[in-house]
Structure 1
Amino acid sequence: MKIFLTLVFGLCISACTFNNQTITLPQATQAYDHLPALQGDYFKIKSTYVGREFHINVRLPEGYQATDAKTYPVVYVLDGDSLFPLLAPTHLFLHYDEKLPEAILVGISYGSFDPVINKRNTDFSAPAADSVLGEDGAPRFLDFLKKELIPKIENQFLANAAKRVLVGQSRAGYFVLWSALEDPDLFWGRIASNPALTPGRARFFEAAARHTKKDLKLVIASGTRDTEQRQRNATEWGTTWSSRVDAPWAVKPIRLEGGTHAATIGEIYRRAMLWLFEAEIATGKAP
């Protein structure tokens, strides 16, 4: 056994060295120059409100030129660690096939799925009597979006401030709905996929904060293969707010037959974006 281990160790050392030089593995990069559908920009931003750093990936439209007078809708994608590389090319294909207007996509990421680093449960949960201790950071995360990230994006890119969209699923879907009540005007469109409604369930059926915009839209979606509780969440919230005269937004419930909790987010994004931009799509398809 000792001889065997010695041989294995020697082979490992030999494989990693040549002429007394150690082979250094390439470091991970945030450059997407070799992936055209993800081309754009990347930067880190340290939030003074949240007290942590975020990784921000920006996908720019095809033909984007910083000197153009044209501006683009901006889609802010929560859980960008996984959803940004999925939804960015999805948006491009929707532009090709469905005439969906091109957009700037902004992926808001933690850089890891490790709970030590990834604080989505904290950032996407609001203070409530039934909150888990320490998981109540939604107000601070909302300040980060409103006062730090959005101004930076709109100062740096050709962003249409009147056409901001926020996308989130599950716990991030909770934040999408909560933020819609707390600051309706901040985003023109919102997509909440299979959202949770706890902690603080009662807040989701209380009146929204003051708003001034008249064209706001919100999609709440659920998959028939998600848990019964999450399906009830979407049905109850969508039905309630679709009929309320004090709703700040037009509400579009989507029930995706065969849809799962997470894996069908691409199809939910497709249906939601086609509804959000139906007027622009109709104009684009006109002769």
Structure 2
Amino acid sequence: MPAMLALSLALAMPAAAQEAPPPNHLAALQGGYHHVESEATGRSYHVYVRLPEGYAGGEETYPTVYLLDGDATFPMLAPAHLLLHYEDKLPEAIIVGIAYGTFGEGNHRGLDFTTTAIPDNPEGGQAPLFQRFLHEEVAPLIESRYRSDPERRILLGNSRGANYVLFDAFTTPDFFWARIASNPSTAPDGDKWLDEPATATRADLHLAMTSADGDHPPFRAYARRWMGHWSEAENTPWTVHAIDVPDATHAADIPRAYRAAMRRFFTDVAE
């Protein structure tokens, strides 16, 4: 399609259509959409919600999975969870994707997922603000609008998103029942996640570290170091799950990491 024709079609499209949630004919992505102007970060986010099959008309509450980098992970993992429910007997879940709406300017993962500013990310270090957004704005929104079980919140992040998952786990262990830190890119925060975490009041928490064997060598080395440290530690706030993902790469195999971790969390699934 010529560039000018594409531009003219975009300009002719009603504003509401440009902001629409996933197409209504994609059954595995049925749910809701919320545009959130965050008071905590001062930035806007797109929050997509996939509801379980059979949700309408019921009264059941569901585990809820919050996906960082939802621009990619929501369309990847929302339908994957449905198939895991069919084939692995995982419980159905509400899937929430927190998206920026772009992979370019306006994608603020470098700010939101780090605790320290560094030369190539001078505006980083805003993870505490993103935590307020996630805990005080997104979770209450989801739990007030949908039948979301607040005792079964799950958080997933990959790469720099995994660094945020670790920050969240170490500072507020009780907020999420389970967390998945996939292929973590943690510099310069990594040593913090080898120190003592905050105290938890719950005894049923889970923290999974997943690492692809084909991940970038520095990320793989850190994951192996972290796994060795916490797998041998006593009196942790969480049950720690150290998961290697064979024949896998940094981002393409997130569904396999998700599947492996979720099977650990829900130990009564079919083996």
Same fold (TM over 0.5): yes
Counterpart for residue 106 of structure 1: 96
Give 3-state SS (helix, strand or coil) of 1:181's partner: helix
Aligned with 1:215 (options 195, 204, 210): 204
Counterpart for residue 175 of structure 2: 186
State which structure, 1 or 2, has the greater radius of gyration over its C-alpha atoms: 1
Moved runs in structure 1, 4+ residues, more than 6 A? 128-131
Within 1, Cα distance between the matches of 2:103 and 2:117? 25
Counterpart for residue 160 of structure 1: 149
Counterpart for residue 82 of structure 1: 72
Counterpart for residue 40 of structure 2: 49
TM superposition shift of 1:211 = 1.1
Give 3-state SS (helix, strand or coil) of 2:227's partner: helix
Q: Aligned pairs, how many?
A: 263
Aligned with 2:23 (options 10, 32, 55): 32
* Aligned ranges 1:114-193 → 2 under 5 Å: 114=104, 116-127=105-116, 132-193=121-182
**Structure 2: runs of 5+ lacking an equivalent:** none
Are the aligned partners of 1:112 and 1:118 in contact in 2 as well (CA < 8 Å)?
Answer: yes
* Aligned ranges 1:11-22 → 2 under 5 Å: none
Could you report, residue by residue, the CA deviation over 1:91-132 in whole angstroms, capped at 9, with x for unpaired residues?
000000011000000000000111x20000110001368884
Could you report, residue by residue, the CA deviation over 1:186-207 in whole angstroms, capped at 9, with x for unpaired residues?
1011011100121232211111
Within 2, Cα distance between the matches of 1:84 and 1:107? 5
TM superposition shift of 1:69 = 2.6
* Length-normalised TM-score, structure 1: 0.86
TM superposition shift of 1:60 = 0.1
Identity in percent: 41
1:86–1:129 CA distance, 2 compared to 1 (3 A): closer
Within 1, Cα distance between the matches of 2:206 and 2:159? 19
Could you report, residue by residue, the CA deviation over 1:135-171 in whole angstroms, capped at 9, with x for unpaired residues?
1110000111111110111111001111100001000
TM superposition shift of 1:25 = 5.2
Are the aligned partners of 2:46 and 2:98 in contact in 1 as well (CA < 8 Å)?
Answer: yes
Within 1, Cα distance between the matches of 2:236 and 2:210? 17
Within 2, Cα distance between the matches of 1:225 and 1:200? 22
Q: After alignment, is 243-252 or 136-145 more displaced?
A: 243-252
Within 1, Cα distance between the matches of 2:119 and 2:193? 14
Aligned with 2:49 (options 55, 58, 61): 58
Counterpart for residue 3 of structure 1: none
Counterpart for residue 5 of structure 1: none
Within 1, Cα distance between the matches of 2:231 and 2:120? 27
TM superposition shift of 1:226 = 1.1
